[in-house]
Amino acid sequence: MKTLFLGVDTSNYTTSVSCVSTEGIVFERRTMLSVPLGERGLRQSDAIFQHVRNLPKLIEPMLQEVDRGAIRAVAVSSKPTAAEESYMPVFLAGKLAAVAIASSLGVPLYETTHQAGHVRAALLGQETFVSESPFLAVHLSGGTTDLLLVRREDGLIGEIDRIGGCDDLHAGQFVDRVGVRLGLPFPSGISLEALARTAGDHSIKLPSSVKGLNCSFSGQETQCQRLIEGGAEESSVAYAVYDCMARTFGKLLTNAFAETGCKTAILSGGVSGSLLLRELLQQRLKHKLFYAQSGLSSDNAVGTALLARDRFEHSPR
């Protein structure tokens, strides 16, 4: 009988549940929250309502498909990051569901962070390749552009310290604001990348603003809005966004490698799932970069479930 571990994550735009065993992913399902066309996000109250509506539709089939008697622990993302002031109401929906599941099964409940879940999901299958401690991680999403120093403790993910990142507009916000302005659906990453792939003109060069371990995208987003208003080719503007991000993150990581002495970096978060960004970024760096497996860059509960497995297997019993 397989030993199973459950994970729940309710982020800004995705409801997700997962079950893993000692061998890998057993069950994984997620639902994107609905954002009206033309809008650039959701109010927390609207997001919570959608999570509450989505969770039963995900949890019930999971518990029907897996052997409940084999479940040993449950983990939930109860806040965005490990920072003391980190808080977001949407995660309370997932916590409520996880508490109910763990209590009914009589198993431990582990609280973790959305960010730790992203890093752990990105490590899946690459644990032996990303073995140094500490190592660098970059979390790129609509709500986070963080440069992180991740320590290992007894082989587990330990302290995650933010050492740099974006000072104003996050990478995902940069992508989404330009995408929505171009009439694309929110979130805009997939559509904007597809548009960028069609660009025949790569002459538009947005400045990359990097100071040490910090970067900025607000001025570049404003410049894109002006280009669009001025009638610039839409595909060229889309390509310029990815080119700008690649040059920015290339400089950021080069500085971080030099300052920390780390030799490894792993990228997580929905923006890092862009194959175009990966191609352009790798061209600018000598260091090997690692990325999450296909489908695990965007918000998901796989990393959360893996953290439940890690914590349970290393806890005294």
Query: In this predicted structure, what is the pLDDT of residue 154?
Result: 81
Total tally of structural domains belonging to the chain: 2
Q: At residue 111, does pLDDT exceed 90?
A: yes
* Residue 315 pLDDT grade (very low, low, confident, very high; cuts 50, 70, 90): confident
> How high is the pLDDT of residue 317?
63
Whether 92 and 201 map to the same domain: the answer is no
| pTM for the model | 0.95
Residue 210 belongs to what domain range? 171-291
Tens-place pLDDT, residues 172-195: 999 999 999 999 999 999 999 999
Predicted confidence (pLDDT) per residue in 193-250, tens digit: 999 999 999 999 999 999 999 999 999 999 999 999 999 999 999 999 999 999 999 9
Q: Which CATH number fits the domain that encloses residue 219? A: 3.30.420.40
Mean pLDDT of 285-292: 91
Instruction: Please indicate, yes or no, whether residues 282 and 309 belong to a single structural domain of this protein.
Output: no
In a domain, 10, yes or no: yes
Co-location of 254 and 308 in the same domain: no
Claim to verify: residue 25 and residue 95 sit in the same structural domain: yes
- Residues 20-55: tens digit of each pLDDT: 999 999 999 999 999 998 888 899 999 999 999 999
Query: Which H, E and C letters describe the chain, residue by residue?
Result: CCCEEEEEEECCCEEEEEEEECCCEEEEEEEECCCCCCCCCCCHHHHHHHHHHHHHHHHHHHHHHCCHHHEEEEEEEEECCCCCCCCCCHHHHHHHHHHHHHHHHCCCEEEEEHHHHHHHHHHCCCCCCCCCCCEEEEEECCCCEEEEEEEEECCEEEEEEEEEEECCCCHHHHHHHHHHHCCCCCCCHHHHHHHHHCCCCCCCCCCCEEECCEEECHHHHHHHHHHHHCCCCHHHHHHHHHHHHHHHHHHHHHHHHHHHCCCCEEEECHHHHCHHHHHHHHCCCCCCEEECCCCCCCCCCHHHHHHHHHHHHCCCC
The mean pLDDT of the chain is 96
77: pLDDT strictly greater than 80:
yes
Same domain, residue pair 8 and 55: yes
